[in-house]
Structure formats: structure tokens, C-alpha cells
A and B are shown apart, each in its own frame.
Chain A
Amino acid sequence: MLKYVLHRFMWAIITLWATITITFIIMHSIPGDPFAKEGTMPESVYENLQRHYNLDKPKIVQYFFYLKQVALLDFGPSLKSKTLTVNDYIEKGFPVSFHLGAQAMIIAVFFGLILGVIASLYRKRWPDYTSMIIAIIGISVPSFVLATLLINFLAVKWSFFPVATWKSWSHTVLPSIALAMMPLAYIARLMRTSMIEVLNQDYILTAKAKGLRKNAVIIKHAIRNALMPVVTILGILTANVVTGSFVIEHIFGIPGIGEMFVKGIMNRDYPVILGSTVFYSAILIFLIFIVDVVYTWIDPRIKVTGASK
């Protein structure tokens, strides 16, 4: 088990390094340099700025500087803001983004599982069809479309919720729903398929035959076993929620990391783009690593095959 965890961890680190390297190459293949725009700048000031940001050194030296910086968790200064560094942005934005993402994931997992279980128990009857219609809508309607629809109806027309920004709990409702719909739909569909498969297994028949109550069979035998495939895709779904969040944050004007990323792109603020990409990737790679480990931990079958290798 420990060997497996260490192995996975090593690959997570390699992936992170690859991401940093690719991002660095992409950002530095942009023609020109960040200070070239400000034309009235005296030559000496320009040279000082270049030296200050190590831009006068060869690319490979800059690359190692950046790797060292990132290893020390320092993402450098922002080019557009004179006082704030990328770290300041992340410190301010992360709690907000984390709140939004966590809330969305909780909604997605909770309602997704319920819908999936209900659909499987009432197969080919109206609760099944209703759940699957919700799931198809969730997969078909992009989050930004859903977000704009929610704003149009629930906020602008009927004013149940505030239109945008991030102040009280009621501000968090619409963005969380918009972000949660897609993973919710995936979880519901997967849970349904997995439940139907489990319910056809012999041990369910045995459990019923020995006289267990219906609820006990469903909860103890069916749901617990059907959860496995859902756990596997949680990592990918979290990745979707995280990358989906910058569109949602942008629409609702939420001051999270996603909004910082989008603004960074619009301002061509390269350290901000680089920093937030690396930060995002680190979080995602870490989450997928955790999901992998948790999965082997809760599924005894994998442990056995892992040990025999």
C-alpha cells in the first residue's frame, strides 16, 4: 500500500513538473516582452526592469529560476498591479474559489447519488425518466448557458437571488448550482448504471432470500458496492468543477482564482496566468492523487491485486 502511494506520488510530482515546463514554454514563446508596450520608457529603466525580472538572462536560466521560485511557493509579482504579487491574489482568491467549488461538489455528489439510486430502483418508470431527463439536461446545457439562464430568471426577473458578486450566502446559491449541474448529471447516470448492474448480482438475491428488509439490502449491499465507479470519476469531475469555475466566476463576478485567471488573460498579465495555471494544476493533480489513494483504500479487491504484483 505504502509502495503504491509513493509510486503514485512520484508520478504526481512528475506530472506537475511537466505542467510547469509546458506552461513555461508556452508563455515564453509569446513574441515580444512584457515591457515592450510602454514605449516612452527610458532605455536604462527598461534595462533595469529586464534585469529585475531576470528577463536579460537566457531562457534556460530563467526556466530554472522559475522552477526554484515555484518550489519555494513564490509565483512572483503581477505585471499589472504595482503592489500585489501573484501570491497575494491566490491568498485572496483561493478561499472564495474553494468555498464555491466545495459547495458545488457537495450538491453534485448528494443530488447525483440520490437521483441515480432512485432511477435504478424505479427502472423504466417515471422517476427513472425524470432523473434521466435531468441528467441529459445537465450534460447538454453548458455551465455558462445555465448560469446566464439562472441569472435571467431567478435573479433579474423574479429577484429571488442577487445577480452577481460574492457577499452573503444567498450570493453563493446560483453559481454553485450552475457549477454543480454537469458533475451532478454524470454522477446520476453512472450511479444508475452501476446500481442496475449491482442489483442483478447474485448476492443481492441471497440478501433478499435470507429475509433482509428492502432498505437494508439497498443501503448495505447495493449502494455500497455501486459507489465504486463513482469514486473513480470523482477526480475527473473535480477537475471539471475547478476548470468550470473560471467561467462561472467570470459571469457572476466572483473574486476567486478563476476570475483572476480570466482577468490575467485579458490583461496579458503573464506571471498571473503562469501562476494560476501552475496553482490550478497542482491542486488538480493533488486531488486526483488523493482520489486514487482513497479508491485503493476503500476497495479491498485492488489492494489484493496490488500486493500480488
Chain B
Amino acid sequence: MAGKIEVTEEMFIPAENNFQEADRISRPTISYWSDVWRRLRANKLAMTGLVLIILLCLMAIFGPYMNGFTYYEQDFTKKNLAPNAEHWFGTDASGRDLFTRAWYGARISLFIGLMAALIDFMLGVIYGGISAIRGGRTDNIMMRIAEVIYSIPYLLMVILIMVVLKPGIFPIIIAMTITGWIPMARLVRGQVLQLKENEYVQAAKVAGAKLSWTLRKHLIPNSMGPILVNVTLTIPTAIFAEATLSFLGLGIQPPQASWGSLTNDALGSILIGNFYQLAIPALLISLTMFAFNVLGDGLQDALDPKLRE
């Protein structure tokens, strides 16, 4: 408040006329991605999602080995047991250990979700990228085709393809990616078209940059944000589609398990009061969907510079 300011001689010495020193940036630069990460970290819901996803992935990797049972081993003397010290999640109608099956199912469900999202991503980037860079007539035709395929109901097509293919993990991934890449292609095309018009891209072109350079340095890094959000939100869609397929009996076949098929198997048992058989896979699917959805939403917010505070 009333603190006296000590005035000394040195304060009156003229400053050195050093421009280089004045222009020096004294704080470390925050890159775009570390800025995004900073904003994402502040979002509690999104971080909960991220932590849940990491936990689910760890359990999918190690869970099936944790209590010494296998996912296919049947023991008819131990049918429909409630959760206990030996069988942590109880057993199913064939006496299989549900803890192992639930995490083995996690492995399959997450694998299918990740693979489908990855393939959709690659196909979408290639198709959308070519369409946008070529432009003109090629673009028009490619996008019309995509639009028509997109109008066909997704789940209907997936189910139809599964009728033809033999049930299994890879046929499911194929069925889901045959039509699943289109939203990504449209997104990539929109992004690239928008970026192509930006001054810095034009400037690069004028300066004689090759297409590969423009792609690597400008187009790809700058369109990464929305694409990442889309990938994050494709994973729960794929997991949901797989669960629905398995629930209808078209997906994963026993003795293999996925969350969808576990829910389907448990349907019969709720009438005899074994609710836990249903509750566990149901909870796991819901948690996964929740985690990916809130992470996707959080990423979307974190990537949006307009929401910067």
C-alpha cells in the first residue's frame, strides 16, 4: 500500500538499443496441439472418458488372463452361478466364466471398433482427398456416388452383407466399412476444399510448392482436427453396430464372445432371475459408448478455436 519505492541511480541509465533482445520470445511457444491438449485436460467429462477408455483397453488386454479360466471352457456342474470368489462375474448357462468372457468380449468389441474406424479413416481420406484435389467433374461424380450410397440405411446394409458373409470378426469389419467410410470422405473433401482456398496454401502454390508438400505441410495437419473427432465418434458407432449384429445372432458366434452376444445370451436368463448376466455386458457397452462419446465431444470443443477463452 504505502510501501516506499526505492529510487536508485540505475533506473535512469538509458536502455540498451538492442532490437534482437526486444524481439526475443521469452515464453515457450504453445503449439496448436499442446493448446488443444491443455483445453481437453480442463474438460473433466472428456478426461473421465479418456481414463475409462484406457482402463477398458488395459482390461481387454489383461482381463482374460486374470483368474485362470478360459472363455470357452464349459463346466456344467457350475451353471448360472452368481458372482462369487471363484467366478468374479458368475457363470453363464453353459458354466463358462463370465469375467473372462466379458473381457474377452471387450477385446473383440474394441478391436472391431478400432479397426472399423481406422479403415473408414483411410478409405475416407483417400476418396475424399482425391475428390477434392481433382475437383471439377471427377469431384462431382465421386460425390454423387458417395451420396447415393450414403442414403442407403447403414445398419440395414451391414445386416444384409452379414447375411451373405460367414459370421466372424473380419466379415463384420468388412460389412461395416463397405458403407461406413462415406461420412469421413465427405468430411475430408469439405475440409480440403475449404483449406485449398486459404491464402497460405495459395502462397505455397505460387512459391512453387509441389502437391505432396502442400498436402504434407498444410492440408493434412490443418484438417486433422475434425477428422480426429470423427474417428473418435466412429468407434462407438462401430461397437454399437457390432453389438446389434451379435445381438441378432449375425455377429460373433459362440464360443467366442462380444458384448452384443453376451447380452443376447443373457436375455433368456433374466426371466429366471439371473440379472447380473445381462447387467455386466450391458454396463460395459454403455460405459464404452459413454467414454468415446464424451471424449469425442470434448475433442470437438477443444479443437474449436472459437471456444478459446
Contacts and interface: CB of A to CB of B under 8 A. Distances in A.
Interface of A: 11, 14-15, 18-19, 22-23, 26-27, 29-30, 136-137, 139-142, 144-145, 148-149, 151-152, 156, 239, 242-243, 246-247, 250-251, 262, 265-266, 268, 273, 277, 280-281, 284-285, 288
A251 B249 CA distance: 12
A18 B244 contact: no
Contacts of A145: 263, 282, 285-286
Contact of A280 (B153, B263, B294): B153
Interface stretch (B14-22, B134-142, B159-167): B159-167
Interface in B270-291: 270-271, 275, 278, 282, 285-287, 289-290
A182 to B, nearest CB: 10
B89 interface: no
26 contacts: A11-B148, A15-B147, A15-B152, A19-B151, A22-B157, A26-B160, A26-B163, A27-B160, A29-B164, A136-B293, A137-B286, A140-B293, A141-B286, A141-B289, A142-B286, A144-B263, A145-B263, A145-B286, A151-B270, A152-B278, A156-B270, A265-B163, A273-B163, A277-B160, A280-B156, A281-B152
Contacts of B243: 142, 144
B93 interface: no
Nearest to A147: B267
Contacts of B286: 137, 140-142, 145
Interface string B209-249: 00000000000000000000000000000001001100111
Contacts of B294: 136
Interface of B: 147-149, 151-157, 159-161, 163-164, 240, 243-244, 247-250, 263, 266-267, 270-271, 275, 278, 282, 285-287, 289-290, 293-294
B248 A30 contact: no
Contact of B248 (A148, A239, A247, A281): A247
A69 B271 CA distance: 44
A142 B240 contact: yes
B290 A140 contact: yes
Contacts of B282: 141, 145, 148-149
B156 A148 contact: no
A280 B267 CA distance: 27
Contacts of A251: 267
Contacts, number: 101
A90 to B, nearest CB: 15
A281 B153 CA distance: 7
Contacts of B267: 148, 251
A273 B148 contact: no
A15 B275 CA distance: 44
Contacts of A152: 270, 275, 278
A191 to B, nearest CB: 16
A39 to B, nearest CB: 22
A306 B271 CA distance: 57
A268 B267 CA distance: 23
A265 B248 contact: yes
Contacts of B278: 148-149, 152
Given A148-B278, A152-B278, A19 B289 contact: no
Contacts of A288: 151
Contacts of A139: 289-290, 293
B290 A136 contact: yes
B46 to A, nearest CB: 12
A156 B270 CA distance: 9
A127 B250 CA distance: 41
Nearest to A274: B160
A152 B266 CA distance: 11
B263 A148 contact: yes
A142 B148 contact: no
A142 B250 contact: no
Contacts of B159: 265
A72 B289 CA distance: 43
B230 to A, nearest CB: 15
Contacts of B248: 246-247, 250, 262, 265
A251 B151 CA distance: 27
Contacts of B290: 136, 139-140
Contacts of B250: 265
Given A27-B164, A144-B244, 5 more contacts: A140-B286, A140-B287, A141-B286, A142-B244, A148-B263
B151 A242 contact: no
Contacts of B156: 243, 277, 280-281
B275 A268 contact: no
A61 B286 CA distance: 48
A10 B282 CA distance: 43
Given A15-B151, A144-B247, A273 B160 contact: yes
A144 B248 CA distance: 10
B151 A285 contact: yes
A142 B249 CA distance: 16
B142 to A, nearest CB: 15
A239 B156 CA distance: 10
A7 B267 CA distance: 47
Nearest to B145: A18
Contacts of A11: 147-148
